[in-house]
Structure 1
Amino acid sequence: CPQLQELQLGNTQVTDAAITAVAKSCPQLRILSIDGSHVTDMSITDVARLCPQLEHLNVNDTNVTDESIAAVAQGCPQLQHLHLSRLKATDVSITAVAQTCSQLQSLRLYDMKRVTEASVIAVAQGCPLLQYLYLFNMRVTDAAIKAVAQGCPRLQSLWLCHHSYNAVVEVTDTSITTLAQRCRQLRQLHLSKANVTDTSIRTVAQGCPRLQSFYVDSTGVTDASITAMAQGCPQLQELQLGNTQVTDAAITAVAKSCPQLRILSIDGSHVTDMSITDVARLCPQLEHLNVNDTNVTDESIAAVAQGCPQLQHLHLSRLKATDVSITAVAQTCSQLQSLRLYDMKRVTEASVIAVAQGCPLLQYLYLFNMRVTDAAIKAVAQGCPRLQSLWLCHHSYNAVVEVTDTSITTLAQRCRQLRQLHLSKANVTDTSIRTVAQGCPRLQSFYVDSTGVTDASITAMAQGCPQLQEL
């Protein structure tokens, strides 16, 4: 196939030999995605030399270094999309890309520990067509964001994300104000944990009317700027406001002005049933709702069940809700894919059984500090064949999970797509775990601490589940 132009080989056993063969035989190659494969600089250098029309390169989680990325920068001046994650590359190669690939439109840097904001500044100065910039777990300050604002007026997406719980994004109102004033086409702005306040967010609300996705959880925003955001950005579809001072006033304003809202995450905020009922009434396209650690009760959860039949993801922690509202969700939200119940003391396994019977598309079920027996797990096994993750967790030292081999055997037989199975402190033995080993070959995460398993079932697990990553 010498006319091959697009090739995706992510998470395969492919090595340099195959990629070099492609480079030699397919000079028109434009898209190459080989994330998670076994390639090195050797083959990527060949691609850089022999495929000058390359536009898209994804080498996440490979053995690629500065050598071949710099070679791509030199040999592929039409490069538009570059994805780099967990590589040993440094500022040297990213700066080379910035200097020679002026058509670059998207750059994703994820856990690139040897790359600094000097690379971001270089890209901002050398790539005026940049539209998408994703920076994960990277120290970035106002200097870099100001450079992006000044150099990349077409920017549509900026993600500044840190997965560390204690991380602080060193970006302030100063640079975000400049960004909002100069990058008026912004559609996605993710600033979780940034040092921003209402000052800059008001400017975003005024300057970026096309904004659709806005994450400012764990920041200094209040009702004032979120109300302005609702009024200025009516196309808003995704909103994360967890751990902020936001109250019902702002959420009601969002509900009234942003009818296309699909994702709302307001965990740890001061909202009550009042605003969530408004969301349920005015935002029928809602798919994702996180109201962990709020003052929400059965009233508004039941309203969401009634008004948002497309709901797919529901996160509930430490609420006063009961089986009444969870059962309502189960009866009307048949597209539900994930349910997280954490420290829900008034919810019983009757809710789990109702969800199992009413939500056949369920893929993720997380039950923390909740009494669950074989009856509930059997119902899940029988009703949710697409299940990928099941977590049964108790944080109490003396807790016992009342789930036995009986239901886990049924689960393994019927839910063969399982990737995560957490059964710590459950009353399970080798009997059911052997069935898991035989029936769930895609399993990646398996927790059975404080159970009755022995070498026999774990050896079977090792042989039957070669993709296992967490044990």
Structure 2
Amino acid sequence: MGQGYSSSSLPGLVRGGDLTLALPDECLASIFGKLGCHDRNNCSLVCKHWKCVDSKSRQRLVLVARSEISLWFPSLFARFSSVSVLSLKCSRKLVSVDDDSLARIPALLPCLKKLKLKGCVDVTDNGLLAFSLHNPPLLGKLSFASCGIGSRGIVSLLVNCPSLTDLTLKRLRKLDAESTPLSFQHQSCFKTESNSNTNGCYSYAKLERLCIKDVHNARLFVPLLCSSAQTLKTLIVCRSSGNWDSVLQSLQTSSSSIVEIQMDNVQLGDPGLVAISSSCPRLQVLYLSRATDCTDDGLSAISNSCRKLRKLHIDSWSRFGSRAIGEEGFLSIATKCAGLQEVVLMGVPITVISLNALATICPVLERMALCNTESVGDPEMQFIGAKFNALKKLCIKNCPISDTGIKAVGEGCPSLVKLKVKRCRGVTKEFMWKLRMRRRHLMVSVDSGSMLVAEDEIDERGGTVQTAVLPPKSRTSTSSSRTHDVNVICSSRGALLLRSRFENALRLNNNNRRRHN
């Protein structure tokens, strides 16, 4: 009792002194980590102590990779020697860092774990080869977008980077133009003494994740997929032309370890799905978005072999009136994959029959989205409210539902925590307010196209429209004050566009009236 702290008991706590000197460097670094990039850069200029702490604790660095910045690499990386994530971005219209600059990075940043190059058109295969010869021991993730590299540079990285597990390739025009497969037939020319193998077999490709976007030659990746089949966990292909059926069929020679496949806007049909079913028995996540030739037959093959499926996303689409994925294919998945936790269906005409199988056989289903289908109406919504007790998140988009269906979901689904409704014209603003008042812990997200929004309720925050659903006005009350504001998020930018056009029209009309007067 009566004890106090003197200025000598805590170093730095002197009258008029710097109170932050009493903070441990780890605490100060944690504070810096919660700041934005601009604020953190300013903090490093306050004093030498803060600059030293920031330099040692900085883990991520994003640089505009113009050619002139390469002169500052030694001093810059000497200051931030603990950086583990480096991102170099440049416009394709400008001169970027070159091969020599890239080759110096492993020696300057020994802790580098992730490297991302975007728009560095002056980086070529020679630069990647020189970079890889340093054998960066911790480098696990690489991402290249709009760079001037080809297959030779990519193979050199796969051979000489022992920890590489994640590779992302986007918009590599040189790789398309060369038409040279990512083959390890001549990998000996990239080897160093540190990774030489006595039996001459390639044993360096330990990829766990491969992401391919806007690379328009599917056959280039056949050797890479075959060599990485035993370690690859995730395969993502987006907007990449070529016959992906034949690529996936090349994996049928042996069982793979793939657990996640995402195919978005690619040429893929039932032969590819059959190949997935036979070579990926451990598959847990399947995304099929605008695949050209997939039908119910291919999805049935998936259901017969991939019984561990947890997430299913289907954006059904057919070209020239051909067959597409329908209720029969989804029904086969629902009846055979009891571990489904997330289902997203776009354009798939499902009915109560499929929903009944889903509710009965998949008791752990927590997230479901039904979009762009005329078959989902109020009867289906009533069934969802009555049967889906474990459902936590539900999204309904562009379906002919009304307040009756929303009411059924609100009165049922005891575990529901988030309800999202988009472009459903039958849902009214008044009922959404009643639903929110009845279930206060339910987060309701409504697209602005689903209901009329008053002008003074619209608030633009970073391209998002947020509004408060108001209680219905009493016929006898003339008060215009708001009560019981409810957070209902409107995520469509269409409301802002309509608002701006209406405002311009009103201003033009007012100006014309003034001129006439």
| TM-score normalised by structure 2 residue count | 0.64
AA in 2 matched with 1:446: V
Q: Is 1:140 matched with 2:140?
A: no
- CA–CA separation in structure 2 for the residues paired with 1:176 and 1:299: 37
Query: Per-residue displacement from partner, 1:346-399 (whole Å, max 9, x unpaired)?
Result: 654643454345444231414124431012223334416443351412xxxxxx
Contact 1:356 1:379 in 2 (8 A): no
Counterpart in the other structure of 2:182: 201
Aligned-partner residue type, residue 355 of structure 1: L
Contact 1:289–1:314 (CA under 8 A) maintained in structure 2: yes
5+ unaligned residues in a row in structure 1: which ranges? 1-19, 33-42, 45-56, 86-90, 162-167, 394-400
Once the two structures are TM-superposed, the CA of residue 219 in structure 1 deviates from its matched residue by 0.5
Conservation of the 8 A alpha-carbon contact between 2:436 and 2:486: yes
Kept after mapping to 2: 8 A contact 1:428/1:453: no
Note if 1:351 corresponds to 2:354: yes
Cα distance change of structure 1 residues 123 and 405 upon mapping to structure 2, 3 Å threshold: farther
Distance (whole Å) between structure 2 residues aligned to residue 95 and residue 327 of structure 1 = 60
Aligned positions of 1:147-162 closer than 5 A: 149=132, 153-154=136-137, 155-160=139-144
Q: Deviations over 1:62-110 (max 9, x none)?
A: 753532367766335543733779xxxxx79998662223343334689
Taking a change above 3 Å as real, the CA distance of residues 374 and 314 of structure 1, as seen in their structure-2 partners, is: same
Residue identity in the other structure for 1:392: K
* Counterpart amino acid of residue 158 in structure 1: L
Query: Are the equivalent residues in 2 in contact too, given 1:190–1:215 (CA < 8 A)?
Result: yes
Kept in 2, the 8 Å contact 1:172–1:194? The answer is yes
> Aligned ranges for residues 3-14 of structure 1 at < 5 Å?
none
Q: Is the 8 A contact 2:468 2:488 kept in 1?
A: no
Distance 1:281 1:256 in 2: 10
Q: Is the 8 A contact 2:267 2:292 kept in 1?
A: yes
Kept in 2: contact 1:433–1:453 (CA 8 A) = no
| Structure 2 counterpart of 1:430, one-letter code | K
Distance 1:432 1:220, change over 3 A: same
Is residue 2:248 matched to residue 1:251? yes
Residue 305 (structure 1) shift = 1.8
- Decide whether aligned partners of structure 1 residues 280 and 200 sit closer, same or farther in structure 2, where only a CA change above 3 A counts: closer
Instruction: Give 1:23-422 correspondences, 5 Å limit.
Output: 24-29=22-27, 32=30, 44=32, 57=33, 59=35, 64-68=39-43, 74-76=52-54, 78-79=56-57, 81-82=59-60, 98-107=77-86, 121=102, 124=106, 126-134=108-116, 138-141=118-121, 143=123, 146=128, 149=132, 153-154=136-137, 155-160=139-144, 171-173=149-151, 175-195=153-173, 196-197=175-176, 199=180, 201-203=182-184, 208-223=204-219, 225-242=221-238, 243-292=240-289, 293-316=291-314, 317-318=316-317, 320-344=324-348, 347-348=350-351, 350-359=353-362, 360-382=364-386, 383=388, 385-393=390-398, 401-412=399-410, 414=413, 416-418=416-418, 421-422=420-421
The answer as to whether partners of 1:357 and 1:379 remain within 8 angstroms in 2 is no
1:460 paired to 2:469: yes
Residue 191 of structure 1 aligns to a residue whose secondary structure is: strand
**Amino acid of the structure 2 residue aligned with 1:459:** A
8 Å contact from structure 2 (residues 428, 450) kept in 1: no
- Counterpart amino acid of 2:327? D
Structure 2 contact 59–82 (Cα < 8 Å) conserved = no
Q: CA deviation at 1:311?
A: 1.3
Separation (CA, whole Å) in 1 of partners of 2:383 and 2:284: 24
Match of 1:361, SS state, is coil
SS at match of 1:421: strand
In 2: Cα distance, 1:332 partner to 1:228 partner: 32
Amino acid at match of 1:262: V
Equivalent residues of 1:58, 1:83 under 8 A apart: no
Unaligned 5+ runs, structure 2: 1-17, 64-68, 188-201, 319-323, 458-465, 471-483, 494-517
Letter in 2 for 1:306: N
Change (3 A) 1:245 1:211: same
Q: Taking structure 1 as reference, are residues 182 and 23 closer, same or farther at Cα in structure 2, changes over 3 Å only?
A: farther
Shift of the alpha carbon at 1:447?
0.4
User: Over residues 294-339 of structure 1, what are the superposed CA-to-partner deviations in whole Å (9 max), with x where a residue is unaligned?
Assistant: 3222222122223222212223221523322211212222332333
Tell me what 1:423 maps to: 422
| Matching residue of 1:432 | 431
Give the conservation status (yes or no) of the 8 Å contact 1:442–1:465.
no
Cα 1:421–1:296 change in 2 (3 A) is same
- Write the distance in 1 (CA, Å) between the matches of 2:253 and 2:328: 27
Contact 1:130 1:152 in 2 (8 A): no
Shift of 1:127: 0.4
| Deviation sequence 1:170-197 (CA, Å, 0-9, x none) | 6544643443343243111011333334
Equivalent-residue separation in structure 1 for 2:367 and 2:491 (angstroms) = 19
Which amino acid in structure 1 is aligned with residue 421 of structure 2? H
Structure 1 CA distance, aligned partners of 2:108 and 2:23? 32
Contact 2:268–2:294, Cα closer than 8 Å, also in 1:
yes
Question: AA paired with 1:189?
Answer: L
Q: Is the 8 A contact 2:57 2:82 kept in 1?
A: yes
Counting aligned pairs with the same residue, the percent is: 15
TM-fit CA distance, 1:235? 0.8
Query: Does the CA contact (< 8 Å) of 2:180 and 2:220 recur in 1?
Result: no
* Pairwise CA RMSD: 4.4
Give the distance between the partners of 1:386 and 1:110, measured in 2 at CA: 42
Matched-pair contact (CA < 8 Å) for 1:288–1:314: yes
What whole-Å deviation, never above 9, does each CA across 1:256-287 have from its counterpart, x for those lacking one? 43521111123333333233223223322111
